[in-house]
Chains A and B, each alone.
Chain A
Amino acid sequence: MTQGIPLNFFLIISTLMFFIGIFGFLTRRNLITMLMSIELILNAVNINFVVFNKYLYPQQLHGLFFSLIIIAVAAAEAAVAIAIIINIYRNFKSIDVDNVDEMKY
């Protein structure tokens, strides 16, 4: 399936995706869209692990398991982050980072 596609092409895609995520994280002013940028970053890292596993160590499964575990951690992280965001919305009536500028309860 991957005959004729060099390893570099996958790495280029994941690099671009990673830095698009970084750009979104720096420019977005809404907590949920910042969370979506983090999901992009995690996804790019997953592609890297899987592709290295396929091209460099096809007999082993370590990269695959790294990706599985990162997906599980991302799910946990998204759940906790959204709980926090909903709580912030209850206290501030807004989830824009410019309005949420005090750490007071």
Chain B
Amino acid sequence: MFYFLAAMVIVFSILTVTSRKVLRAATYLLFVLIATAAIYFLLEYTFLAAVQLTVYAGGIVVLIIFSILLTSRLSEKAPVASVRQQILSALAAGAGAVLTLLTILKYGFPQESVASEPTSAVQIGNALTSYNRDGFALAFEVISVLLLAAMIGAIVVARREKLKEEESNKEL
């Protein structure tokens, strides 16, 4: 099962960054995110997998697809970088990957997973709202304020401004 998921993640990642059609790339991204959620299920973090499915696969991908439909002509193919630039990018990414993999494989991480109880949603909820030493209440509050600010900012940026207002502002 794990090897199937691993192959799926890698193949669809490559297709995401190489597909010339933007909408297809978004669909491949959706498959990558679903395979990642399956990996979380494999690791027995079911709550995180559910969040991944709803927020990433459900929310972000839909948002991306909508913005593609709003901004691109679907029959057109996405422009690509020059061959020289592609080769240089592949070299840079490949060198980084080789370096990181060598470091990981040289470092002796303990390889076996210790058998442990699956984390329950109750445990996560308690830790998220507790303000004790091991609680995450501060992070929770900060992230909610960040989300609110980001949503208001997105609305303000994307809003179509009236031309008249713009003219009067210029005169002022």
Contacts and interface: CB of A to CB of B under 8 A. Distances in A.
Interface of A: 1-3, 5-13, 15-24, 26-30, 32-33, 35-37, 39-40, 43, 46-47, 50-51, 54-56, 58-61, 64-65, 67-69, 71-80, 82-87, 89-90, 95-96, 98
Interface residues of B, number: 79
B111 A8 contact: yes
A6 to B, nearest CB: 4
Interface in B65-101: 67-68, 70-72, 78-81, 85-86, 89-90, 92-94, 96-97, 100-101
B139 A69 contact: yes
Contact of A43 (B56, B64, B124): B56
Nearest to A16: B10
Nearest to A65: B136
Contacts, number: 226
Nearest to B52: A71
B109 A55 contact: yes
B94 A43 contact: no
Interface of B: 2, 6, 9-10, 13-14, 16-18, 22, 25-26, 29, 32-33, 36, 39-40, 42-45, 48, 51-52, 55-56, 59-60, 63-64, 67-68, 70-72, 78-81, 85-86, 89-90, 92-94, 96-97, 100-101, 104-105, 109-114, 116, 119, 123-124, 127-128, 134, 136, 139, 143, 146-147, 150-151, 153-155, 157-158, 160
27 contacts: A2-B44, A9-B2, A12-B104, A13-B6, A15-B101, A18-B100, A19-B93, A20-B10, A20-B14, A28-B17, A37-B17, A39-B60, A40-B32, A47-B39, A60-B134, A61-B123, A64-B48, A67-B48, A69-B139, A74-B56, A78-B60, A80-B154, A82-B154, A83-B153, A83-B157, A87-B157, A95-B71
